[in-house]
Structure 1
Amino acid sequence: MSDNGFTTCPYNASHRVPRSRLQHHIVKCQKVNPELWICPFNATHRCQENLKENHYNTCPDRPHDIALPKAKAAKNSTVGAVTTPKPILQKDYLPENDPDCEYWD
């Protein structure tokens, strides 16, 4: 039997789940297990606090254009937008406000 489509739960090594269901499984499993560090590049990567620096440096999902010292300088070790996006109101999406909208009637 092929094991390619399955992965091991980071909270309990005896849990083998399909890769497509890993995120769903982690949400359930984290409620009853001790808290693990969450990788800022892939939320399905979880590890113990003492192993986080090693994972951070070797994560296969870390973008190659992010320099490690700059990324690690962030307050909570996450990489992403540092500003809050401006909320867009529903009225901004109405066809009358869209110059590219085509009326077929």
Structure 2
Amino acid sequence: MDPERLIQCPYDKNHQVRACRFPYHLVKCRQNNQKIAKELVACPYNARHRVPRQELNMHMSVCENKVSPELEGVRWGTNNRTKEATAWQCPPSQEDWEADADEAPAPPFIFGTRAYVRINQEQ
């Protein structure tokens, strides 16, 4: 989609908005036209589509953003190939944090002191 293409606002037919600014305009124009906003509903396939409530079923049947059921299964991971790809599991970790802590214990934290300075001075 061309970001500079002009799109007509569903709340005010006199508004022509660039495609890149259209989502922001919808929010602002909906707040300014609450009476019209109550009559319009968002398309489930594209939230930028606002249609009268009575025409929603007709719009959904012809919407250009409608996805076929076959593609919808691939998109949401309901096909077999996706299940096979997600069967991988992470190998167990070789790290032992308790053993590392026993080898080089950190100095105790005392608020308001600089323990790291004392350690450096002892060495």
TM-score when scaled to structure 2?
A: 0.49
Structure 1 portions without partners, runs of 5+: 67-79, 81-98, 100-105
Listed as ranges, the matches of 1:34-73 within 5 Å are 34-35=36-37, 36-65=40-69
Cα deviation for residue 32 of structure 1 reads 2.1
Aligned with 1:61: secondary structure? coil
Corresponding residue number in structure 1 for 2:28: 28
Point out which structure has higher relative CO (alpha carbons under 8 A, 6+ apart): 1
- Higher helix share goes to which structure? 2
Percent identical among aligned pairs is 31
- Is there any run of 5+ residues in structure 2 with no aligned partner, and where? 71-75, 77-92, 94-123
Instruction: Give the SS at the match of 1:37.
Output: strand
- Residues matched between the structures, number: 65
Q: Which moved more, 1:14-23 or 1:4-13?
A: 4-13
Runs of 4+ in structure 1 deviating by more than 2 angstroms, as ranges, are none
Q: Over the residues paired in the alignment, what is the CA RMSD in angstroms?
A: 1.8
Task: Provide the secondary structure at the position in 2 that maps to 1:31.
Answer: helix
How far, CA to CA, are the matches of 2:64 and 2:56 in structure 1?
14
